[in-house]
Structure 1
Amino acid sequence: MESRHGRKKEQAESPEALKTREEKETVLVREYLALKDTLKEIVESNKRDNDALKVTTALLRKSPDYYTIWNVRRTILKEGFLDNASDDETANKIYTGELEFVQENLKLNPKSYWMWNHRRWCLESMSQPRWDKELAMVGKFLEMDARNFHGWDYRRYIIRQLDLKDKEAKDKVLERAQSEFDFTITKIHQNFSNYSAWHNRSTLLGKLAEDMSTEEREAIVDNEFDLVKNAIYTDPEDQSAWLYELWLIGREERSISILGAHVISFHPLEIVVAFDETVKMRNPFTVSTRVDHVAIPLEGEWKATGSDSALGSVWIFQQAPGAVYGPTVEIVIFSDDVCAVRAGSKLPAAVCYELETLNQNLDEISGRLGRLVIGQNLMYDVTKRIGPVTGPDGTLETQAVHPKHRVTSLTESGSLDDRIALLEREISAVRELVELEPDCKWPIQILSTLLSELRKTVSIHSTQAKVIDDECIELQEKLITIDPLRQERYEDRRTQLVFDRETLSIIQDSKRFPEIEYSAKQPTNLDLSMRGLTHIPISSYLLHLHTLNLDSNSITSTRFLRNLLNVRRVNLSNNLIEHLEGMQHAPSLEFLTLENNMIAKWEDVVAGFVFWGEGKLARTGGHVKVLLGNNPVVVNEGGEYVLEKRWEDVGKVGVEIQWQSEELRLAEEALLAAEDETGAVGNMVVDGTRRVSATVVEFDAGLAH
């Protein structure tokens, strides 16, 4: 009988054998603890002799991953032996002895970080290390285990040292790179599942391609695709070749996009800038006002919405008290002002926004912006100016241009058609494999990735984009079925795809490919109910919404609400939310439904409103109603009456909490209305006294009056 790893099950140990093994283990533990105590004595006594070194040797043979012992050993060697060495030859003998000691132990444990690290220390400390000898040594280890990534990492380290030694001899460096490249193909042919060999091949190919002509690069890329296909068809379940193919194809990195800028208040001036992803501000965005044709910096502060004001996708500029501005305000965001959380993404060029205030009725606009008026957009759009922008150093920063398009990770072309042709060719090949292996997850994952890359080459509002989105969603749903262990990953990816598809009306293709921005006409209502969403991927997309329906999804957090500056009504019933957060940063919120979620503790309710009084809602005298019926907190905390009293103890700040479900409340109101007409309702008798279940309470999070 075999286990799931293909190994035979061992027979259960007899009581006698088990007792013998336990006794041996007890002796080993006792010896190890004794050596450990001896080591402690050595450290405390500062002994630096042969006896101290022998103790570390014995300990490391028993536990080579105990890195503290390696540190102690190096201290003993340095202070007790190497500092007293009369010449380099004597020191090198000591280091050579250490190399032999490490090599002997590596045979027993070739995947110990600390032994490989100690070996590097020896070589880097020697006056004349034999790097060529090290290369031969690690080659033997890779013959024993070709997939030992420690050995591959050490081999790359040795090659770097040899290249540094020969940095003036470029031909020698390239010859060595070609030799290593050939070595990887040997190991790959021995075992296609050698990810370390594939990875090493990618680093070497990039170096070799630097001095190749376009024709030579295209030829070697075609050869690599043939190699990958051979590996994939041999074992489609193995990820190594698939990952190499993804590297070979490359990814078209999308730039950071500024979706738009808006004024939400003129007295004082408050400006909102929205990005399509989370960014960190490296330098404050430039805000200046023109008075008598002279640009004057406008005093104020930029903050991201939410509790972490240094990181976010929605940023707000708040004018400093007492600062004044003229008829024109200009906001300039330079490419170096922001850095993305997502690696490889950046703002391609400076963007300038202009706000003309001279011909505006600011009192009327500010009054509208300051009031929470249902059905009106409280945001005043700022005009974007496209063109060269004067940088901080006085030079003009021009718009980014894209003269060439990526075809593969190693090739470029002036025509986007070349990239499309490559993607369509690879998509066709992967489709064939999906048909042959319909339950193999890797071809499906790669197909989804390739389709996503193809989508970047077409208009996001095109029919082709919609077809691609629909197929990618279906592929994620299939992956959830055949690979349930990674269900959450596929659900999150599916959520991103569904969200992109359902929010197309909110964004438009930008003329500066591949960026995006808000469309000219923004919807005020969005229904995303029953879409299987696990989160809101880009909440800055929803900045203009008044009503958002997220009923019956799998959303676990309300944090996205912090970016919904204009939203009035949000339905989050029938989700998986366990605690409230972000609501104190939603200044226009008036109605929030959280029925049938998983909120179980009183503290998880309070957390959502702790800073409510500091927000704009309190300043404008707004009021929000929150429905929390059918959450475990009602039962866990002792029922509705207990919760009501706890809310009353907190105070008042315009937050109305309804514990009973809205559906039940409406049904009871209907019954009461029927009772008024008939005096009785079937077999049910309604008490005329105050009913706790229908009580609505108010809450204040410590706001000073």
Structure 2
Amino acid sequence: MEGRHGKRKEKAGSPELLKARQEEETALLRDYSKLKDSLKQITDSKKKDSDALKTTALIIQLNPGYYSVWNLRRTILHEGFLQNTNEETTQGIFNEEIKFVDEILKQNPKSYCAWNHRRWCVEQMGRGSSWEDELAMTDKILKDDPRNYHGWDYRRHIIRQLDLQNQSPTEEALQRLQSELEFTTLKIKEDPSNYSAWHSRSKLINELAENMAEKDKKAMIDSEFDLVKDVVYKNPDNQSAWLYNLGLIGREEPSISIIGASVISFHPLEVVVAFDQNVKLRNPFTVSTMLDHNVVPLEGEWKATGSDSSLGYIWIFQQVSGSVYGPTVEIVIFANDVYGVKAGSKLGSPAVCFEVETGEQDFGVISGRLNQLVVGKNLMIDVTKRLGPVSNPDGTLEAIREPEVKHVVTSLTTSTSLQDRRVVLEREIAVARELMGVEPDCKWPIQVLTTLLLELRKTISLHSAEARIIDDECIGLLEKLITLDPLRQERYEDRRTQLVFDRETLHLLKDAKRSHGMEFADEQPRDLDLSMRGLTHIPISSYLMHLHTLDLDSNAITSTRFLRNLLNVRRVNLANNLIERLEGLQHAPSLEFLSLENNLIATWEDVFSGFVFWHEGKLGRMGAQVKVLLGLNPVIENEGGEYVLEHRWEDVGEVGVDIQWISEEARLAAETHATVVSGTRRVSINVILDGTH
């Protein structure tokens, strides 16, 4: 039987051997317990003598991961044995300590604590330390176990220390890096799946590239691609090599897009700004209006939708009650005003200004009328402290030419040229396709091909035919991966969901390249049918902000939290999904009809949780009424039937919610046959119309 790293596992042994091992472990536990008692006495008495040091050694030998004992050992050495000693004595103490660490590493070569203690010892030795000797030590460690991550990490630390200690000139430092690169090449040839060697190599080539001319760097990177190609052609399932390959290619830096702004309420004024990902605010966005030809800042507060008002896709500005505003409102947002929860994501434009109309009092007309007026580096920061004169008589900001947006990629192949980026991607896509032809059921070429195609998609127009072709191919690849790699099925389904959602909501956005940001189309539809699409979630719920009707019937959606961002939605069909709990309903102020039939809602608490804020009168705009269909959910049987649930809901009180526990199909059938069931009184006395809203 093969164990980790290809080493053979030992058999459990005979019953007699097992019994002997159990007796030995019992004795060790007894000794360990006594040593811990001694350790407490040492700690309490603050002893720093030989007995204290010996006790820590015995405990560490039994438990090398006891970090606080290692800390205590360092304290004993530093405050006891190393006080008032000469250089020769100090050197001798640390030499003995390193021998002790060597013994521990023989038992447990991957002990974080032991490696940390060794580093401390060598650094404390000062002039007497020899990093060259330590480098030789890692040679031996990595010969015994070439995948020992701690050995590789310590080796990189040694290289850094040699450069600092010797104050090496650049040429000598580069030679040392080149020598280390050759060392990783040797280890990779010995074991092409050695992830630790590939990881160390990635660090080295980044350091080497910093001091190379562009021509030399390109030659080195091309050589690295050739190395990976040679490895994966011999073993297409080599995960380590493929990951290294993706690291060479890099990825486009994530950016935040402000996709639109609009008015959602007039008294008091409420303005909404929608993003394409969850963001937090560093600084409140400036909101101003024009009154008597003067720019007047509006007082108010920005809050995100949902229970956590400091994070969200949708941010709402609510004006202080009683304040006046003009026919238009300006919102100015700077790049440093927001930051995304995705690592490294930032606003794609230096600054954005939206102007929304407030003079149109017909909410249905104004909803969706969006206009991005200005994108410019020199946009004035605060309308109350303008940095320059207002050019236009009415005080609006002057339109500034949009600066050139560079295509920023986090890799050694970084280029501001989209064409250069496409050349690299298309070349590596061809490699992955070729390997798929050789090994059609090998998952790694398929995964890498999917990732590369999605990176290629970021370089083209959202509405182009090429983008559509890429989406269709990636969806097919992910569906194949679901079959080939069922253990990671949920990951592939979520990625597939993102692509399907992007494709089905494309008409909601203007035609634009992703690197330039996304924006709502000027005309927003009222209805959207996403039924039977195999969706596991709603990836970017802010896209759906203007919808009135949303059909999500027969998908695999597990949460209703996305509803908190659907500020205008009236009717939602979530029947035949995988929802277990109602969430986000308290932040859907326009909701009137919600079908949740045939889901997985199992308990009364899972129902009631969605309406707590309704009951407490904390529902955004008041006066909302909603009809909810919950037939064919386990909660009905689990809680004692629909009549029990109806009475339980009555106990909560009138909250403007009409919940029907019986299925809509059964209700219609009953009405057709004029069947009258006694005791079917509903909770709400409000009349809910089933017509189009």
Compute the TM-score of the two structures, normalised by the length of structure 1.
Answer: 0.90
Describe the SS at the equivalent of 1:236.
Answer: coil
Go from structure 1 to structure 2 and tell me whether the alpha carbon gap of 1:37 and 1:664 turns closer, same or farther (over 3 Å shift): same
**What corresponds to 1:353 in structure 2?**
354
1:280-429 equivalences under 5 Å are: 280-348=280-348, 349-355=350-356, 357=358, 360=359, 365=361, 368-369=362-363, 378=367, 381=370, 384-387=373-376, 388-391=378-381, 401-402=403-404, 405=407, 409-413=411-415, 415-429=417-431
Describe the SS at the equivalent of 2:684.
Answer: strand
| Matching of residue 498 in structure 1 with residue 500 in structure 2 | yes
1:68 deviates by: 2.0
1:518 deviates by: 0.7
Identity, in percent, stands at 63
> CA RMSD of the aligned region, Å?
2.6
| Matching of residue 599 in structure 1 with residue 589 in structure 2 | no
Go from structure 1 to structure 2 and tell me whether the alpha carbon gap of 1:15 and 1:417 turns closer, same or farther (over 3 Å shift): closer
Distance in 2 between residues matched to 1:54 and 1:513, nearest whole Å: 62
| Matching of residue 126 in structure 1 with residue 125 in structure 2 | yes
Q: Could you list the runs of 5+ residues in structure 2 that have no partner in the other structure?
A: 389-398, 687-693
1:601-646: per-residue Cα shift (whole Å, max 9, x none)?
Answer: 1111111011125678674422100001111111111111211111
| Matching of residue 61 in structure 1 with residue 61 in structure 2 | yes
CA contact (8 A) 1:290 1:329 kept: yes
Go from structure 1 to structure 2 and tell me whether the alpha carbon gap of 1:125 and 1:691 turns closer, same or farther (over 3 Å shift): farther
1:61 deviates by: 1.0
Describe the SS at the equivalent of 1:555.
Answer: coil
Go from structure 1 to structure 2 and tell me whether the alpha carbon gap of 1:114 and 1:398 turns closer, same or farther (over 3 Å shift): farther
Q: Which moved more, 1:114-123 or 1:655-664?
A: 114-123
Go from structure 1 to structure 2 and tell me whether the alpha carbon gap of 1:485 and 1:667 turns closer, same or farther (over 3 Å shift): same
1:167 deviates by: 5.5
Equivalent position to 2:487, from 485, 492, 496: 485
Distance in 2 between residues matched to 1:612 and 1:399, nearest whole Å: 47
1:528 deviates by: 1.0
Describe the SS at the equivalent of 1:526.
Answer: strand
CA contact (8 A) 2:461 2:511 kept: yes
Distance in 1 between residues matched to 2:244 and 2:79, nearest whole Å: 47
The amino acid that maps onto 2:264 is I
CA contact (8 A) 2:250 2:413 kept: no
Go from structure 1 to structure 2 and tell me whether the alpha carbon gap of 1:126 and 1:288 turns closer, same or farther (over 3 Å shift): farther
| Matching of residue 691 in structure 1 with residue 674 in structure 2 | no
1:649-684: per-residue Cα shift (whole Å, max 9, x none)?
Answer: 110121111000001111111111xxxxxxxxxxxx
Go from structure 1 to structure 2 and tell me whether the alpha carbon gap of 1:331 and 1:125 turns closer, same or farther (over 3 Å shift): same
**What corresponds to 1:115 in structure 2?**
114
Distance in 1 between residues matched to 2:72 and 2:4, nearest whole Å: 42
**What corresponds to 1:161 in structure 2?**
161
1:594 deviates by: 0.5
Describe the SS at the equivalent of 1:227.
Answer: helix
Distance in 2 between residues matched to 1:696 and 1:662, nearest whole Å: 14
CA contact (8 A) 1:522 1:544 kept: yes
Go from structure 1 to structure 2 and tell me whether the alpha carbon gap of 1:602 and 1:699 turns closer, same or farther (over 3 Å shift): farther
Q: Could you list the runs of 5+ residues in structure 1 that have no partner in the other structure?
A: 673-685, 701-705
1:183-211: per-residue Cα shift (whole Å, max 9, x none)?
Answer: 22121122111112212222221221223
Distance in 1 between residues matched to 2:480 and 2:166, nearest whole Å: 52
The amino acid that maps onto 1:183 is F
Go from structure 1 to structure 2 and tell me whether the alpha carbon gap of 1:2 and 1:255 turns closer, same or farther (over 3 Å shift): closer
Describe the SS at the equivalent of 1:598.
Answer: coil
| Matching of residue 216 in structure 1 with residue 221 in structure 2 | no
Equivalent position to 1:640, from 639, 642, 662: 642
Distance in 2 between residues matched to 1:378 and 1:612, nearest whole Å: 24
**What corresponds to 1:178 in structure 2?**
178
Count of residue pairs the alignment pairs up: 671
The amino acid that maps onto 2:121 is C
1:23 deviates by: 1.8
Describe the SS at the equivalent of 2:275.
Answer: strand
1:556 deviates by: 0.7
Q: Which moved more, 1:571-580 or 1:88-97?
A: 88-97
CA contact (8 A) 1:459 1:465 kept: yes
1:329 deviates by: 2.7
1:320 deviates by: 1.5
Distance in 2 between residues matched to 1:691 and 1:109, nearest whole Å: 74
1:472 deviates by: 0.5
1:489-524: per-residue Cα shift (whole Å, max 9, x none)?
Answer: 111111111111111111123378431111121121
Equivalent position to 2:569, from 561, 567, 591: 567
Distance in 1 between residues matched to 2:632 and 2:7, nearest whole Å: 50
Distance in 2 between residues matched to 1:627 and 1:448, nearest whole Å: 39
1:395-443: per-residue Cα shift (whole Å, max 9, x none)?
Answer: 6997774575468922355643332222222111111111111111100
CA contact (8 A) 2:627 2:658 kept: yes
The amino acid that maps onto 1:160 is R
The amino acid that maps onto 1:384 is L
Distance in 2 between residues matched to 1:171 and 1:377, nearest whole Å: 66
Distance in 1 between residues matched to 2:12 and 2:98, nearest whole Å: 41
| Matching of residue 455 in structure 1 with residue 441 in structure 2 | no
Go from structure 1 to structure 2 and tell me whether the alpha carbon gap of 1:103 and 1:467 turns closer, same or farther (over 3 Å shift): same
Distance in 2 between residues matched to 1:651 and 1:403, nearest whole Å: 56
CA contact (8 A) 2:564 2:585 kept: yes
CA contact (8 A) 1:214 1:411 kept: no
Q: Which moved more, 1:7-16 or 1:537-546?
A: 7-16
**What corresponds to 1:611 in structure 2?**
613
1:258 deviates by: 0.5
| Matching of residue 74 in structure 1 with residue 74 in structure 2 | yes
1:21-57: per-residue Cα shift (whole Å, max 9, x none)?
Answer: 2222221221222222221222222222101111111
